Amino acid sequence: MKDDSMYGPFRIGNLTVKNRLVRSATFEFGANDGRIGPKITELYRSLAAGGCGLIVSGQFAVSAGGRIAPVMVDAGGEDFVSDLRALTGVVHDNGSLFFVQLSHGGYRVPGLPGYDQLAVSATTAADGRVLHEATAGEIGGIVAAFGRAARQCKEGGADGVQIHAAHGYLISTFLSPFFNRRTDDYGGPIGNRSRILMEAYDEVRRGVGPDYPVSVKINFGDGVSPSITAGECLQVCQRLDERGIDMIEISSGVSPDGSGTSFSPFAREKAEGHFLDGAAMVAKAVKAPVVSVCGYRTPAFIERTLATTPVAAVSLCRPLIREPDLPNRWKTDRGEAACLSCNKCFKPTAGIVACGAL
């Protein structure tokens, strides 16, 4: 049976999102040495024109040293506010809302001068770089950078921000016992492992004020052993909820050595909605709207998900790389997304993310 639940609105804090199809954060591979350029603006124009209610940017670094490549946007940069203002203007003119995803790359930053060579615990990266355990002072600096970058996002006209706490980037590696072997206040029980996330959230909130939408993307499971447990993820989400988080997006997976994709190991387990059970569990336990990501490919499955589970919306990444107009297309043509989930989009062409199967 067809229903139109995909095209009904949902709320994030004070915002009304026009439909329940969210574009999940997707690294653009398109910045010009940390700055938003015309290719990134065009990418978001086409996504907004394609009908997504809310677009979450690819991960933008909170500081130049936290980027995972020179082609990542630096949300702490001097020109960021004016660059972002131009970008958000284009997105709004085309009918979508825009959140910026804020991240620090952790062990996945490159070994280039000026990039932070640190990790949650001392380790040797896949490329041989020796990374030291982040000191309390360095953690404080990164937390402050989250707050500063979030303020810049608000000033630049973004409708909200998302803290990236998934997929093995810095905050995710603190949450995960696979990476976190610290013996100080940031390691051990989940209350300690989530300390940096709570501090980043509090700093972001201080920077943007009580009414500005702040969200998080977080792993329900890491796909490695040991992993954050379901109970630990629920606990972290409930603590963020009590603090006033406005939206929670549930994902899963890490890439243990920084190669390959973080979410793919799970992708064979289910045809669609790979992490839906976790998202539904969190949605039952918190007040904030919960968004479920990974593997959504058909209107029928999405509508069933929205009708039968407590998740507020679903988010898509790879299908929108291939078909930026998919939300509009589904209004008349309900055929499956053309995305093959082949992950060739991780090899960008022409300096911007693109479908590698075309």
Ligand X SMILES: Cc1cc2nc3c(=O)[nH]c(=O)nc-3n(C[C@H](O)[C@H](O)[C@H](O)COP(=O)(O)O)c2cc1C
- Of 124-132, 206-214, 277-285, 310-318, the segment contacting ligand X by CB under 6 A is 310-318
| 167 near ligand X (CB under 6 A) | yes
Return the residues of window 122-141 that contact ligand X according to CB under 6 A. none
Residue in 149, 147, 262, 256 with CA at minimum distance from that of residue 207: 147
In angstroms, what is the minimal distance from the CB of 172 to ligand X? Answer: 10
Interface with ligand X (CB under 6 A), residue from 6, 17, 21, 24: 24
Contact 214, 208 (CB under 8 A): yes
φ, ψ at 11 (rounded to 5°): -110, 140
| 25 near ligand X (CB under 6 A) | yes
| 322 near ligand X (CB under 6 A) | no
How far is C-alpha 222 from the geometric centre of its chain's CA atoms? 15
Interface with ligand X (CB under 6 A), residue from 10, 21, 27, 286: 27
Interface with ligand X (CB under 6 A), residue from 54, 294, 302, 306: 294
Residue in 258, 250, 259 with CA at minimum distance from that of residue 285: 250
Contact 358, 335 (CB under 8 A): no
Tell me how many residues contact ligand X (CB under 6 A). Answer: 24
Cα separations (Å) of 290 from 22, 198, 199, 282, 293?
A: 11, 18, 21, 7, 10
- Of 6-14, 116-124, 179-187, 287-295, the segment contacting ligand X by CB under 6 A is 287-295
| 44 near ligand X (CB under 6 A) | no
Closest to ligand X by CB, 176 or 251: 251
Interface with ligand X (CB under 6 A), residue from 207, 295, 299, 327: 295
- Of 19-27, 79-87, 114-122, 234-242, the segment contacting ligand X by CB under 6 A is 19-27
Per-residue contact flags (x/-) with ligand X for residues 232 to 271, judged by CB under 6 A: -------------------x-----------x--------
Residue type, position 288, single letter: A
d(CA 162, CA 248): 9
Contact 351, 71 (CB under 8 A): yes
| 345 near ligand X (CB under 6 A) | yes
- DSSP 8-state symbol, 114: T
DSSP string across 156-179: TT-SEEEEEE-TTSHHHHHH-TTT
Per-residue contact flags (x/-) with ligand X for residues 52 to 71, judged by CB under 6 A: ------xx------------
Whether the link from the prior residue into 110 is cis, omega within 30° of 0, is no
- Of 3-11, 144-152, 190-198, 293-301, the segment contacting ligand X by CB under 6 A is 293-301
Two tokens at 312?
A: 């507020």
| 161 near ligand X (CB under 6 A) | no
Alpha helices in the chain (DSSP H): 38-49, 80-93, 136-155, 170-175, 190-193, 195-208, 230-243, 276-285, 299-308, 318-322, 326-329
Return left, alpha or beta for 157; rule: phi > 0 is left, psi -120 to 50 is alpha, else beta: left
- Of 131-139, 208-216, 289-297, 322-330, the segment contacting ligand X by CB under 6 A is 289-297
Closest to ligand X by CB, 52 or 353: 353
Per-residue contact flags (x/-) with ligand X for residues 177 to 216, judged by CB under 6 A: ----------------------------------------
Closest to ligand X by CB, 6 or 25: 25
Judged by the rule CB under 6 A, the positions of this chain that interact with ligand X are 24-27, 58-59, 101, 164, 166-167, 217, 251, 263, 293-296, 316-319, 345-346, 353
